[in-house]
Amino acid sequence: MTNIRSDRRCLVKKQGMLKELIFLLGLIGLSYGAIQRPDYDDTPNPAFLNPSWMASISDDQLLSEVTMPGTHNAMALYGGVYAECQTWSLALQLQAGVRFLDVRVRHVNGNLTIHHGVSYQRAHFGQVLKGVADFLREYPSETVLMRVKEEFSETNNIYGAVVDFIHRYAHWDMLWHSRLVPTMKEARGKLIILQNFSGPDLGMRYGSLDIADDWKVPTLGHLEEKWRSVYEHLEAAPGGNMAQIFLTYSSGAGVFAHPRAVAQPINAQLYDYLRAKTDLNQRLGIICMDFPAAPIIQMIIDFQLRDRDRPLIQFEKYSFFTEKEDQQ
């Protein structure tokens, strides 16, 4: 009996030591701060900018056919390793080529402050709207998609405040007011709200997208599962419904794995995956990242549909037909 108790205490002690080790690894990550790699960048400034890359996309191309980079918790620049997901300002993200923004707002008495969990991000929703409006005025060939979600409050009633902020800090006509996926011509100069809250339509519904967001990464030992989710969704995107926007989050975090610790290895795998592809004429959808670098952003932008017949072929299994098939 004594030996059993001793063995049990030893096992508990070893489990405790293992948890502490995992915790320290999660805190430290692979390294911390001021890294600028081709796939990962947590320095204050991108290596280069590409503010008007959408100008080269055909006007008649559906936005769902466009491959674009995005940022998870785009405004989460403060609060320590567990809260921070980006280091570039909103303006620099947009100028670097990011076209999807994941924005979280806390709703208190009609006010919408920006939060990541409990961490206030020293900004309010109006500043985000103004930043996007200023960018689109300067670069009217572009469009910005913005997921808006309530965070660190549970009023489930942010619609009125969002509308008020749009009128105060942007322009009502700047929004894309439809659930339908626009063409690039229709989307240029527009902010497309991906509405992740209840209320009348402001734009497209976030839930209408085909989304892979397996964000829970409990420890660094779960990175393989996270990458598998990213990989499988990216592999499905070129053959998926071309009338539906695909959205893949490469970001993740957990108690024993903060965003930087996840982003460094996952971004590296994503970079290698994209670099290995020789066919750039395909749709990968939105790839949403923590701490992206300018080279991987450019690599994502380089994947664009240029063969206008290709989407029609992919539509076949969704009861769409090519002109030739329709005549048969």
Give backbone dihedrals phi and psi of 142, rounded to 5 degrees, phi first.
Answer: -100, 165
Task: Kindly report the pTM of this predicted structure.
Answer: 0.86
Q: How far is CA 163 from CA 54, 168, 174, 270, in A?
A: 27, 9, 12, 37
Is pLDDT of 16 > 50?
A: no
Q: Can you tell me the distance from the alpha carbon of 320 to that of 328, in angstroms, rounded to the nearest whole number?
A: 14
Tokens representing 253 are 């975090």
Q: What is the pLDDT of residue 325?
A: 32
- pLDDT per residue over 252-269, tens digit each? 999 999 999 999 999 999
pLDDT confidence tier of residue 6, bands split at 50, 70 and 90: low
pLDDT higher at 25 or 119: 119
Q: What is the pLDDT of residue 182?
A: 98
Q: What is the pLDDT of residue 34?
A: 86
Nearest CA to 69 among 84, 82, 83, 88? 88
Write the CB contacts of 67 (distance below 8 Å, at least 6 apart in sequence).
282, 283, 284, 285, 286, 287, 300, 301, 303, 304, 305
Write the CB contacts of 297 (distance below 8 Å, at least 6 apart in sequence).
46, 50, 69, 96, 97, 98
Tell me the average pLDDT across 279-300: 98
Tell me the average pLDDT across 184-197: 98
Tell me the average pLDDT across 112-134: 98
* Cα 267 → chain centroid: 13
Q: What is the pLDDT of residue 221?
A: 97
